[in-house]
Amino acid sequence: MKRIVTIVLAVIVAAAVFAGLVHAVLVAAHVSEAAGTTVYGLTTRRLWATAAAALGLVGVTVGALALARPAGRIGIGFGRRGASVALVVGAIAAVNGGLNLAVATGGPGTGNGVIGGAAAFVLGLIGMALGGMALARPPRRIA
C-alpha cells in the first residue's frame, strides 16, 4: 500500500512539473495569451504538433527503458541502441516543437498547435536527456 501511494504521488508531481515546463515554454515563446476566438477541430499545425509530441513521447519511453534495462547477454533490453534512438527521436521532436512555436502567430485556441509544440519541445528534451544518460553509463560487464 505504501508503494502504491508513493507511485501515485510521484506521477502527480511529474505531471505538475511537466505542466509547469510547458507553460514556461509558452511564456518564453510569447504565445501564452489565449485567443479571442477559438478554432475547433484538427488543423495542419495541430496535427504537426501532435505528431511531434507523440514522437517526443516515444523518445522518452525508449530512453527510460534504455536507462532502466540495459541490454543483457541474450539481447533483451534496449541498451546503447535504444539510447541512440532516444537521442535522435528526442532531437527531432524538440526541433519540430520549437519550429511549431516559432511559426505560431497566436496562443492557445488559435489552431496553431502551440500547446502540442511546447509539449513536443519539453518531451524531446527529456528524451534526449534520458538517452544521453543511458549512453554515458559505462557498458555492463558480463561474467
Domain contains 142: no
pLDDT band at residue 23 using 50, 70 and 90 as cut-offs = confident
What pTM did the predictor assign?
Answer: 0.83
Domain contains 64: yes
> What pLDDT does 77 receive?
59
For residue 37, is pLDDT > 90? no
Domain contains 143: no
Angle between the N-to-C axes of helices 44-68 and 79-103, in degrees from 0 to 180, rounded to the nearest 10: 150
pLDDT band at residue 76 using 50, 70 and 90 as cut-offs = low
Domain contains 112: yes
Work out the widest C-alpha separation in the chain, in whole angstroms.
Answer: 65
Domain contains 24: yes
pLDDT band at residue 72 using 50, 70 and 90 as cut-offs = low
Number of domains the chain is built from = 1
Domain contains 141: no
Alpha-carbon distance 49 to 66, whole Å? 25
For residue 44, is pLDDT > 80? yes
For residue 75, is pLDDT > 70? no
pLDDT band at residue 120 using 50, 70 and 90 as cut-offs = very high
* Cell reading at 69: 534495462
pLDDT band at residue 130 using 50, 70 and 90 as cut-offs = very high
Range of the domain at 88: 2-136
